[in-house]
């Protein structure tokens, strides 16, 4: 077994430390920045009794306590899983988060499902033709894709599609969803439509999802292409690969079973690291395509000092990032017998 208990314990301890750090830093940044969350909690009162309402709100939010008490109380809320009501929306924080997390996850997963295999395949393709013109072109494409601002790319795709009459705005056509009786179960529209066997909504949700997903996929395509090409090119020069060729092993077997397998752990590691960037990209692209999601939610939460919602969201993003990278490490250990965790 390449996985040890001490690795898991260390990883969990490290994750808790990271989350405590995220909470404390975020809390300080939001609370010490200009503006008073109590004003929002009181509903921006405008009448003569506004001061009284704000004072009451400050007590309800615990903002009348010393700063260290506030932070400890907030940490307790985070680790007991009850962040209370959002200051901006007066709804349970986790309800608001889940509604939006599902939208972002759907976009991110589809983008990754496109980006990672495509980038990896192109990387292998380029490595097999290293030194030729097609290799240079693909490497250039990889560099461009990995460095293109996703917001700009999303906007370009959106505007390019407009003249065709093909709309990629929002998550689903409202009239279609209503007329076919579509309702949300998990918040992942593709899955929900499939569960309800609602094919019109499935197709509609898919065609709206693909353009923003392509924009988000640009980064993993670029990164996997460039890293995949390098790893694969190195693997192809290994002695065991050359020996296999000398023994007359089929080229396809050499490429995919020997060389690619050697490149795979590195690719998995890079994909895990790229995940955080893609999450941020997804949060940005949502804006362009009029989709709800964590990006809009975070921006709105910070702009009104809704520290409960903003920090809840950051904790989820941090936890997500930690989980994905842990999974990437574990996958690497399972794939590569040289790695022991």
Q: Which residues bind other proteins (CB under 8 A)?
A: 34-36, 39-40, 42-54, 56, 85, 88-91, 96, 99-100, 158, 162, 167-170, 173-176, 178-180, 199-200, 203-204, 207, 287-290, 292, 296-297, 299-300, 303-305
Query: d(Cα 87, Cα 143) in Å, to the nearest integer?
Result: 42
DSSP β-bridge partners for residue 92: 85
DSSP β-bridge partners for residue 85: 92
Q: Is the Cβ of residue 79 or residue 199 nearer to other proteins in the bound state?
A: 199
| In the complex, least distance from residue 339 CB atom to other proteins, rounded to whole angstroms | 31
Q: Is the Cβ of residue 10 or residue 52 nearer to other proteins in the bound state?
A: 52
Q: Is the Cβ of residue 147 or residue 179 nearer to other proteins in the bound state?
A: 179
Q: How many CB atoms lie within 10 A of CB 229?
A: 26
| In the complex, least distance from residue 96 CB atom to other proteins, rounded to whole angstroms | 6
Q: Is the Cβ of residue 54 or residue 279 nearer to other proteins in the bound state?
A: 54
Task: Tell how far CA 46 is from the center of its chain.
Answer: 39
Cβ atoms of 150 and 215 within 8 Å: the answer is yes
| In the complex, least distance from residue 181 CB atom to other proteins, rounded to whole angstroms | 11
Q: Is the Cβ of residue 12 or residue 203 nearer to other proteins in the bound state?
A: 203
| In the complex, least distance from residue 198 CB atom to other proteins, rounded to whole angstroms | 10
Query: d(Cα 131, Cα 296) in Å, to the nearest integer?
Result: 44
| In the complex, least distance from residue 224 CB atom to other proteins, rounded to whole angstroms | 20
DSSP secondary structure letters along 42-98: TT---STTHHHHHHHHHHHTTTTS-HHHHHHHHHHHHHTT---B-TTT-SBHHHHHH
């Amino acid at each position: 077994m390449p996985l040890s208990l001490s690795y898991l314990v260390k990883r969990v301890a490290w994750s808790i430390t990271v989350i405590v750090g995220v909470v404390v830093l975020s809390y300080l940044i939001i609370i010490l920045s200009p503006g008073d969350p109590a004003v929002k909690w009181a509903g921006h009162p405008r009448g003569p009794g506004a001061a009284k309402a704000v004072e009451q709100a400050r007590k309800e939010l615990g903002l009348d306590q010393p700063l260290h008490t506030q932070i400890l109380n907030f940490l307790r809320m985070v680790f007991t899983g009850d962040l209370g009501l959002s200051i901006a929306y007066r709804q349970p924080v986790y309800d608001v988060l889940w509604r939006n997390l599902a939208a972002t996850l759907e976009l991110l997963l589809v983008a990754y499902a496109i980006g990672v295999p495509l980038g990896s395949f192109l990387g292998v393709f380029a490595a097999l033709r290293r030194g030729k013109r097609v290799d240079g072109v693909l490497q250039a494409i990889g560099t461009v894709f990995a460095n293109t601002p996703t917001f700009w790319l999303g906007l370009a795709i959106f505007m390019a599609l407009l003249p065709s009459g093909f709309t990629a705005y929002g998550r689903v056509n409202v009239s279609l969803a209503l007329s076919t009786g579509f309702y949300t179960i998990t918040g992942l529209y593709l899955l929900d439509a499939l569960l309800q066997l609602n094919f019109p909504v499935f197709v509609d949700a898919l065609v709206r999802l693909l353009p923003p997903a392509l924009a988000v996929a640009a980064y993993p395509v670029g990164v996997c292409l460039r890293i995949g090409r390098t790893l694969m090119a190195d693997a192809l020069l290994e002695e065991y690969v050359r020996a296999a060729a000398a023994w007359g092993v089929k080229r396809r077997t050499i490429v995919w079973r020997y060389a690619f397998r050697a490149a795979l752990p590195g690719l998995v590691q890079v994909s895990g690291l790229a995940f955080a960037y893609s999450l941020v990209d997804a949060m940005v692209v949502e804006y362009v395509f009029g989709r709800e999601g964590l990006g809009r939610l975070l921006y709105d939460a910070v702009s009104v000092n809704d520290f409960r919602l903003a920090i809840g969201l950051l904790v989820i993003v941090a936890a997500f990032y930690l989980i994905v990278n842990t999974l990437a490490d574990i996958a690497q250990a399972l794939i590569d017998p040289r790695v022991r965790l």
